[in-house]
C-alpha cells in the first residue's frame, strides 16, 4: 500500500454515523463536542460554518467539502447571528442514517459522516489537521470522484434499498480519502508534517520506501539515492518537510506498527521485533520505550498514559486491555 493507505489502515477509521441535513429558510444549528472526525459536504445551496476557537466563520458553497477533526462544538447556519437551536432536536440520538429536516428544507442540503479512529494513535492524523479543513469545489478529477460519491450517498439515504447502510458507510470512507487527497497540496504552501510531505514527489517516495519495507536497514544514503538527491540535501529537505529526520521517522513508524501488532495480534514480542528489523527483543524494547514512553510489555498491558510520538505536540494513547 501507499503511505496514506498505510496510516489510515493503521488508524482503522470506522464510520458510525452517516446522514444528511435538508434545511430551509432562516436557521442556525448548534452541534456539541464529539470524538473522532467529521467529513461533510454541501450538495446544494450555501450556508455558514463556525467552529469554537476559530476566529473566522467559513462560507460554504455547493460542492464544498469540509473536515472537522478536533471534536470542537460548531454551528451551521443560514445566518450565524440567529439564536442557535440544539441540532439534536432534529437529529434524533437513536437515529442512524437518513436525512434530518430543518425548517421544512429545500434550500441547503448537506451530507456527512462521523468517524471514530479505532487505533490509539489517532493523533497521528488529527494532530496534523487544523480545526477546519475547507476544500472548495474544483474541476479536477479528484473533486469529480468526491462529487460522485456525494451523489451516490444522497441516493442511498433518500431512497434506501437493501444494503444501503453498508453502501453509505463505504461511500463515507471514500469521501474521507478523497478529502485528504484534495488537502495534500496544502503541503506545497509551507505546511509541515507527514501528510503534507506526501504531496512532494521526492519526500513522498522516500516515505513510501520506508513504509513498503520497514524492516530494511535503511540509511540516509540509500534513501537519498532512491529519490535522486544528495545525502545532505535529502536530510535537510525531509526534516523541513516532515518535521523530523528520516531516521527518526523510520523508527517511529516501526514503533507504531509494533504497537499495533501488540494490540491486535497474538504475535510474540520476539516475532514483532524480528518483523520490524530488530535482531533482539532488547533492541526493539529500547527503541520502543524511547519513542512510546513505556516498554512493549507495559504497552501490551494497556497502561493508560499519553505517548509522545511526533514533535508538534501530538500524542497517542494506548488502548486499554482487560485481562483476566
Q: Where are the strands (E) in 47-156, listed by range?
A: 47-51, 58-60, 65-68, 74-77, 85-86, 99-102, 108-117, 133-135
Nearest residue to 164 via CA among 179, 149, 178, 152: 152
Task: Count, in order, helices (H) and strands (E) of the chain.
Answer: 12, 13
**Beta strand pairing status for 315-316 and 307-308?**
antiparallel
State pLDDT tens for residues 115-130: 988 887 888 888 889 9
State pLDDT tens for residues 215-227: 999 999 999 999 9
Q: How many Cβ atoms sit within 10 Å of the Cβ of residue 97?
A: 16
pLDDT of residue 159: 84
- Grouping H, G, I as helix, E, B as strand and the rest as coil, residue 3 is helix
pLDDT of residue 221: 97
**Angle at Cα 174 formed by Cα 171 and Cα 178, nearest 5°?**
140
Counting other chains too, the contacts that 141-147 makes at CB distance below 8 Å and 24 or more residues apart are 142/178, 142/181, 142/182, 143/63, 143/182, 145/174, 145/178, 146/41, 146/65, 146/175, 146/178, 146/179, 146/182, 147/63
pLDDT of residue 247: 97
Read off the pTM. 0.82
Percent over 90 (pLDDT), the chain = 58
Q: What is the pLDDT along the chain (324 residues), one digit of tens a residue?
A: 899 999 999 988 987 778 899 999 999 999 999 988 999 999 999 999 999 999 999 999 998 999 999 999 999 999 999 999 999 899 875 555 678 999 999 999 999 888 988 887 888 888 889 999 998 876 565 667 777 887 888 888 878 889 888 888 888 888 899 889 888 887 777 789 999 999 999 999 999 999 999 999 999 999 999 999 999 999 999 999 999 999 999 999 999 999 999 988 889 999 999 999 999 999 999 999 999 889 998 887 664 344 444 544 344 444 333 333
**Domains in the chain, CATH or no CATH each:** 3-188 (2.60.120.280), 200-324 (1.10.10.60)
Cβ-Cβ contacts under 8 Å for 249 (sequence gap 6 or more): 194, 207, 210, 238, 242
Amino acid at each position: 500500500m501507499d503511505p496514506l493507505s498505510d496510516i489510515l489502515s493503521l488508524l482503522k477509521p470506522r464510520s458510525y454515523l452517516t446522514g444528511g441535513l435538508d434545511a430551509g429558510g432562516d436557521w442556525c444549528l448548534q452541534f456539541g463536542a464529539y470524538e473522532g472526525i467529521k467529513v461533510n459536504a454541501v450538495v446544494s445551496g450555501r450556508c455558514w460554518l463556525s467552529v469554537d476557537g476559530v476566529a473566522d466563520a467559513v462560507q460554504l458553497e455547493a460542492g464544498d467539502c469540509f473536515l472537522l477533526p478536533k471534536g470542537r462544538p460548531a454551528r451551521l447556519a443560514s445566518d450565524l447571528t440567529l439564536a442557535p437551536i440544539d441540532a439534536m432536536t432534529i437529529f434524533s440520538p437513536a437515529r442512524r442514517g437518513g436525512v434530518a429536516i430543518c425548517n421544512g428544507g429545500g434550500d441547503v442540503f448537506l451530507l456527512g459522516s462521523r468517524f471514530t479512529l479505532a487505533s490509539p494513535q489517532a493523533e497521528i492524523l488529527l494532530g496534523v489537521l487544523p480545526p477546519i479543513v475547507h476544500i472548495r469545489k474544483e474541476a479536477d478529477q479528484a473533486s469529480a470522484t468526491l462529487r460522485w460519491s456525494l451523489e451516490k450517498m444522497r441516493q442511498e439515504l433518500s431512497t434506501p434499498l437493501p444494503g444501503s447502510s453498508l453502501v453509505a458507510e463505504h461511500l463515507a470512507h471514500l469521501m474521507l480519502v478523497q478529502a485528504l487527497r484534495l488537502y495534500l497540496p496544502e503541503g506545497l504552501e509551507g505546511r509541515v508534517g507527514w501528510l503534507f510531505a506526501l504531496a512532494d514527489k521526492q519526500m513522498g517516495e522516500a516515505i513510501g520506501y520506508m513504509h513498503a519495507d520497514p524492516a530494511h536497514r535503511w540509511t540516509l544514503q540509500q534513501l537519498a539515492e532512491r529519490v535522486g538527491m544528495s545525502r545532505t540535501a535529502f536530510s535537510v529537505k525531509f526534516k523541513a518537510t516532515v518535521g523530523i529526520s528520516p531516521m527518526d521517522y523510520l523508527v517511529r513508524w516501526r514503533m507504531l506498527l509494533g504497537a499495533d501488532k501488540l494490540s491486535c495480534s497474538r504475535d510474540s514480542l520476539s516475532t514483532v521485533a524480528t518483523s520490524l528489523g530488530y535482531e533482539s527483543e532488547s533492541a526493539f524494547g529500547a527503541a520502543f520505550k524511547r519513542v512510546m514512553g513505556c516498554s512493549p510489555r507495559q504497552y501490551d498491558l494497556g497502561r493508560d498514559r499519553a505517548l509522545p510520538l511526533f514533535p508538534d505536540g501530538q500524542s497517542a494513547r494506548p488502548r486499554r486491555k482487560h485481562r483476566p
